[in-house]
Structure 1
Amino acid sequence: MTSIRPIQPEDHPALMALWQRTPGIQLRAEDDFAPFCAYLRRNPGLSLLCEHEGRLLGCVLVGHDGRRGYLQHLVVDESCRGQGLARALLRQALAQLAELGIHKSHVFVLTDAPGALEFWRAQAGWSARSDIQVYSSRREG
Structure 2
Amino acid sequence: MVAKPSVLFVCVHNAGRSQMAAGFLTHLAGADIEVRSAGSAPAESINPAAVEAMAELGIDISDQRPKILTFDAVETSTVVVTMGCGDTCPVFPGVSYRDWILDDPAGMGVEAVRPIRDEIRRRVEELVAELLPTRSRFH
TM value normalised by structure 2:
0.35
RCO (CA 8 Å, sep 6+): is it higher in 1 or 2?
A: 2
TM value normalised by structure 1:
0.34
Larger radius of gyration: 1
